[in-house]
A and B are shown apart, each in its own frame.
Chain A
Amino acid sequence: MIGIIALATFREAVRSRTFLGLLAIYAIAVILSRLVGWISGTDGNIVTTDLVLSLQSVIGVLVAVATGTALVHTEIRQMTLYTVLSRPLPRWQFVVGKFAGLSLGLLAGQVAMLAIGLTYLFITGADVHHWLLLAGGLTMMEVLVMAAVSLCLTTLTSPLLAAVLGLAVYALGHAVANLPDFINHLIGWKMLLASSLASLVPNLGMFTYRNQAVHQLPINWSTLGLDLLYGGLWIALLVTITVAVFRRKQL
């Protein structure tokens, strides 16, 4: 049953206008990024590669937040949810199936973006190597974590507020990556409070390998494994919270 829900969600996600629209925006932005490379007056390939990888992350997260927040809410609004749940289908299976489908859709989108971006870089003469693929892969994990955040938030509040909070979590998630540089400016309970609050937010800096990938700096494979495990644990936690909230939700 999870698989059927996942497949249906996947089809719905990849056909949604938001998804396709943002993919089109990505393609246009990637083409225009070459202009920035030309303006730089140096080796524009590195500048373009930086932009392509950043766009994959930013637009990927936008797709994740936009699609994730609309997922369950659309089902409730269109009342198709009741039809699905009227079968003897546990709510947790519904949530897991939805998230699985969303993840598949987002991964398909990320793969498409990476393919478009790397193809464009190759055509324009930039250096395309396997480190860029690795960076793209870690960005996919970042997007999946943000999808889980969006799904969790949407069960707690309205879709609009969930989207805003989702983007705030994205900003915080990267900001906390740099918090260790500042934490020694605080002492006593302030340091404890800042550390505790920062620990409640996923550290999205762990998936940021693109800055090194552009310069072909190798990644430590054990670090890569830990990053993927970290992302997996956050996804598991957020989906579990979503299931717990959804079970008790009055539909």
Chain B
Amino acid sequence: MLRRAPLLLLILACTAILIGWNGSRFIGAKPKVRAKDLAFLPSPAVARAMCLGHTNTVAKLRWIDSFAYFQYQCDHLDDHVPGQDTRGGFYRLYDTLITLDPYFQPFYEHAALNLSGILGRHQHALGFLMRGLDHLPHNTALWRNTAATLKVHFHWEDQQPQAFDGFLASWAAAELDDNGRRMVWDWKRAMGQRQFKGLEQLSYWLDQLQTTKAKTPMGDYVEETARAQLAAYGERELTALAQLHRRTTPPALDAWYADLADPALPLADQLRLGRMPTTALALAHPRLASQRYGDRLPGFGPLRVAATGRLELRPDPYGHPWRINGVKVESVGLVQRNFEKRLGYSQVQLIEKAKEKGRWPTTIDEVRAWGVAINELPNGGTLRIVDQQLAVTWEPPLSEPWKLR
């Protein structure tokens, strides 16, 4: 035993060092944006042959591998892949995955979300959903997703109400119990109640929130899209309230001269209009709200009635305050998110430049010198290069973001 002790100690020491070395890669690891392409997309029949009988497993692994492509497309929005097929990477990917495992519901949902939500190809998305209904005729989630797509992206309820009701009747017939059948018409009613002018797509995204999980790429994308829509809506409403404020506030001479520069306003309005409020908080005024909304506030708008009964301005959906910028009201959170989105394009450009030059830049000035376009950084942000990625750090929001889940 004593003779073997040094050998055992050596084995233990090497094992500990190697395990520690391997494990250190995971400490502080951050997800990287991968410039993932989908160049290898065999046709469905070839893919099936290549699976050697393990079609389900291979389909799942390929699908998980494609999450990086989804993240890439969130910024890139160019689904073109080499070859003569013009249908794009997402279409070919999901065509193959569904052929390998046609009974896996998430394939259809993700196909619809990626093609419709990211790329705006609603026809293709609808095609996949209808294909899903062929294989999974009693799947409530797919029926609901299809109905939401027909309503929001094809406007069936407004333009073809009879056809839409016919579709809903088919859905109800496919449900296996009375609760399910009743739920179809409850769904139609609920979608109608969530219809707001300027937020027509919100009902679709809130529906998608229910089918995705938090802290997943898809779930985060859906939540982010819904939040951005609410922020944009808030900006429009508060800007409209600000214009109402200007019409009722006497102009000061210096502000009048400044307003003359606004090309969006007719000259008559420019002569008549008063000042913009100094802060967005001034827009939470009952007079302005009643002029705009009558006696009912929109449920997803920036104004709400506090517990004290007073009208108050909510923070923006990201938890930041609203900000007056010239004659418009801005959501600080949305400005930051839009900057991050455009930074994604810059990241893609940077990757291509780095491949050309054979190295990564070390400073932001060097990135700009290479010809990579980076927009002006909004206030409250710091831009750096971290692990071969352009990373922006923002000051934390003053309030909690709106709870959407």
B340-381 interface mask toward A, CB cutoff 8 Å, 1 = contact, 0 = none?
A: 000000000000000000000000000000000000000000
In the assembled complex, the CB of B59 is this many whole angstroms from the nearest CB of chain A, namely: 8
| Chain B contacts for A182, CB-based, 8 A | 45, 49
**Interface on B for A, CB 8 Å cutoff?**
45, 48-49, 51-57, 60-61, 63-64, 67, 101, 103-104, 106, 212-213, 216-219
Contact status of A40 and B63, CB under 8 A, knowing A46-B104, A181-B48: yes
A40 to B53, CA, bound (A): 21
Interface residues of A in 179-199 (CB under 8 A from B): 179, 181-182
Q: Are B57 and A51 in contact (CB under 8 A)?
A: yes
Given contacts A36-B64, A214-B56, 6 further A-B contacts (CB under 8 A): A36-B61, A50-B57, A174-B53, A175-B49, A178-B45, A178-B49
Cα separation A217 to B397 with both chains bound (whole Å): 50
A-B contact pairs, 23 of them (CB 8 A): A40-B60, A41-B212, A41-B213, A41-B216, A41-B219, A42-B106, A42-B216, A50-B56, A50-B60, A51-B57, A54-B54, A54-B57, A170-B52, A174-B52, A174-B53, A177-B53, A178-B45, A182-B45, A182-B49, A211-B55, A212-B103, A214-B56, A214-B103
CA distance A214 to B216 in the complex (A): 24
Q: Which of A194-216 contact B (CB under 8 A)?
A: 204-205, 208, 210-212, 214-215
Q: How far is the CA of A179 from the CA of B50 in the complex (A)?
A: 11
Give the docked Cα–Cα distance between A170 and B54 (Å): 12
B53 touches A204 (CB 8 A): yes
B56 contacts which of A58, A170, A181, A211 (Cβ < 8 Å)?
A211
When distances are taken between beta carbons in the complex, the residues of chain B under 8 Å from A181 are 45, 48-49
* Cα distance A179–B213 in the bound complex, in angstroms: 39
Contacts A51-B57, A54-B57, A217-B103: A39 and B64 contacting too (C-beta < 8 A)? yes
Pairwise interchain contact B56-A175, C-beta atoms closer than 8 A: no
A36→B62 CA distance, assembly (Å): 12
Residues of B within 8 A of A103 (CB): none
**Which A residues from 34 to 67 make CB contacts under 8 A with B?**
36, 39-43, 46-47, 50-51, 53-54, 57-58
A211: which B residues are within 8 A, CB to CB? 55-56, 101
Tell me how many residues of A have a C-beta within 8 Å of chain B. 32
Verify if A171 is at the interface (C-beta below 8 Å from B).
yes
Tell me whether chain B's interface is mostly helix, strand or loop, or mixed: helix
The CA of A204 and the CA of B51, in the complex, are separated in Å by: 13
Q: Is the interface of A mostly helix, strand, loop or mixed?
A: helix
- Chain A residue, CB-CB nearest to B218: A41
Chain A interface (Cβ < 8 Å from any Cβ of B): 36, 39-43, 46-47, 50-51, 53-54, 57-58, 170-171, 174-175, 177-179, 181-182, 204-205, 208, 210-212, 214-215, 217
- Give Cα A71–Cα B145 distance, bound, in whole angstroms: 56
* Neighbouring A residues of B218 by C-beta, 8 Å: 41
Name A217's closest neighbour in chain B (CB-CB).
B103
* Set of chain B residues within 8 Å of A179, measured between Cβ atoms: 49
Of chain B, the residue at the smallest CB distance from A205 is: B53
For the complex of A and B, list the 4 residue pairs with the smallest distance between their C-beta atoms, beginning with the closest: A41-B216, A174-B52, A215-B103, A178-B49
Which residues of the partner chain A approach B106 to less than 8 Å between Cβ atoms? 40, 42-43
Contact check, A57 vs B53: say whether CB atoms are below 8 A apart: yes
Contacting pair B64 A40 (CB below 8 A):
yes
A236 vs chain B, min Cβ distance (A):
23
CA distance A170 to B55 in the complex (A): 15
Quote the shortest CB–CB distance from A218 to chain B (angstroms): 13
Quote the shortest CB–CB distance from A209 to chain B (angstroms).
10
In the complex, residue of chain B having the shortest beta-carbon distance to the beta carbon of A181: B45
Kindly list chain B residues whose C-beta atoms are within 8 Å of the C-beta of A171: 52
Determine the chain A residues whose CB is within 8 A of the CB of B49 once the complex forms: 175, 178-179, 181-182
How close is B45's CB to chain A, nearest CB, in angstroms? 5
> Of A47, A50, A208, A214, which is within 8 A of B53 by CB?
A208
Q: A175-B49, A178-B49 are in contact. Are A210 and B216 (CB under 8 A)?
A: no
Distance between Cα atoms of A40 and B51 in the complex (Å): 19
CA distance A54 to B57 in the complex (A): 7
Q: A175 to B51: give the CA distance in the assembly, Å.
A: 8
Residues of B within 8 A of A217 (CB): 103
Measured CA separation A54–B56 after assembly (Å): 9
Of all chain A residues, the one with the shortest Cβ separation from B44 is: A181
Q: Which residues of B contact A54 (CB under 8 A)?
A: 54, 56-57
